[in-house]
Amino acid sequence: MKTLLHRVNGLYAGLLLISFITIIVCVVLQIISRYGFNQPFTWTEEISLFAFCWFTFVGGAICSWEKSHLEVDFFYNRAGLKLQKYADICILALVTGLSLFLIVDSVITMKAQVGITSVAVRLPILLYTLAILVGFLGIAVFSAYHLKARITGEDQKRF
């Protein structure tokens, strides 16, 4: 299972890289067209916004797998190991549950967005919500894996 999740994380990393490169290319093209030729493109802002959504939610999934989300651990570090384990289990269960809720909500929202397109590029608006769906799907799967590992004692370090 861990090997499969490593591969899934690799796919997420590929999506993250593609979205990052897309953002950079669009911003550079916009700067060149606006200040170099005094003829700004109308599509670069929209494409970079789509890419930024993907970058954000796919990056969140990667952070879930790598356990690298920002945390404030002042009280956590002062608690005993047993309390730390219970806190980890509660947090991971909440994250998994919230992610599952957001997956369902994303699907409902995507159904309502069918046929709506963006202004400049005419891309389907549901691509924004698809980024949320894909991101929280990864967060749910990775958090559930870490939750199981924490409950069974396979993973001793904090998520």
Nearby residues of 157 by Cβ (< 8 Å), 6 or more positions away: 67
Which pLDDT belongs to residue 145? Answer: 96
Task: With a cut of 60, say whether residue 159 has pLDDT above it.
Answer: no
For residues 22 and 47, the answer to whether their CB atoms sit within 8 Å is: yes
pLDDT tier, 158 (very low <50, low <70, confident <90, very high otherwise): low
| Tens of pLDDT, residues 80-109 | 989 999 999 999 999 999 999 999 999 999
Task: Provide the residue ranges of all domains of the chain, joining segments of one domain with +.
Answer: 2-152
Give the other-Cβ count within 10 Å of 95's Cβ: 21
Q: What value does the mean pLDDT take over residues 74-82?
A: 88
pLDDT tier, 156 (very low <50, low <70, confident <90, very high otherwise): low
For residues 151 and 89, the answer to whether their CB atoms sit within 8 Å is: yes
For residues 5 and 142, the answer to whether their CB atoms sit within 8 Å is: yes
Give the other-Cβ count within 10 Å of 128's Cβ: 20
| Tens of pLDDT, residues 41-62 | 989 999 999 999 999 999 999 9
Task: With a cut of 80, say whether residue 9 has pLDDT above it.
Answer: yes
Distance of alpha carbon 122 from alpha carbon 129, whole angstroms: 16
Distance of alpha carbon 116 from alpha carbon 127, whole angstroms: 10
For residues 46 and 119, the answer to whether their CB atoms sit within 8 Å is: yes
